[in-house]
Amino acid sequence: MIKAVIFDMDGVLIEAKDWHYEALNRALRLFGYEISRYDHLTTFDGLPTKKKLQMLSAVYDLPVALHDFINELKQLYTMEIIFAQCKPRFNHEYALSRLRAEGLRLAVCSNSVRDTIDVMMEKAALKDYLEFTVSNQDVTKPKPDPEMYAVAIQKMGLMPAECLVVEDHENGIRAAKAAGAHILAVRETTDVTYGNIMKRIHEIAQGDLA
């Protein structure tokens, strides 16, 4: 039986893909670099900024000495965009409040940094429904490594099979699978509805009975 729902953040609860893309490019452009939309969608999306910068240095000639500064600027620009654009969404507030009312425990595991998660969950009015959030600063390895989901499941004192992970990205799905959790794969934030989540929970329950 499912006792907890663990959400990825970007692309699941927050439509932030473009925000991270814009913020990093704004920082990179100061030094004459840029990630194309194609590379973003096929290679970089969903990875932590540090990892993206390592990849840019390996493939292009971005100096490693600039990483910390670019990373700081990127976080600053991300915050600016969040403050301007991150708003509550009815389908998410409704879904999380109903799930909580039905006794399900809720958490978020995201490859984003702690500050970004805190501000996004606050601005989206979802913070109060969550038991806790796990950021890339709370683990040694980000997704696709299963550590983040394993940490969350352990923190709740549950078995992996009692947890449903909602993910939009291949890296996150791999992480959740490796952690042993059930998965609801979504394409976009609008797919994250109370109805879709309950449908998946019932499917899992049927499977357990069969």
Q: Which is nearer to Mg ion, 92 or 169 (CB)?
A: 169
CB of 140 to Mg ion, least distance (A): 20
Helix %, strand %, coil % of the chain (to 5): 60, 10, 30
Smallest gap, in angstroms, from Cβ of residue 69 to Mg ion?
26
Q: Does 8 bind Mg ion (CB under 5 A)?
A: yes
Q: How far are the Cα atoms of 39, 88, 142, 197 from residue 91, in angstroms, in the given order? A: 31, 9, 28, 12
| Minimum CB distance to Mg ion, residue 37 (Å) | 17
What DSSP line would sit under 177-190, residue for residue? HHHT-EEEE-SSGG
Closest to 40 in 3D by CA, of 61, 11, 1, 14? 11
Under 8 Å between Cβ of 7 and 106? yes
DSSP conformational letter for 166: E
Task: Establish if 169 lies at the interface with Mg ion (CB under 5 A).
Answer: yes
Chain position whose Cβ is nearest to Mg ion? 11
Q: What phi and psi values does residue 21 have, to the nearest 5 degrees?
A: -65, -50
Per CB under 5 A, does 45 bind Mg ion? no
142 near Mg ion (CB under 5 A): no
Q: Which of 2, 4, 5, 11 binds Mg ion (CB under 5 A)?
A: 11
Q: Please state the closest distance from residue 46 (CB atom) to Mg ion, in A.
A: 5
Query: Segment contacting Mg ion (CB under 5 A): 3-11, 62-70, 183-191, 198-206?
Result: 3-11
Q: Is 10 in the site for Mg ion (CB under 5 A)?
A: yes
Would you tell me which residues interact with Mg ion (CB under 5 A)? 8, 10-11, 168-169
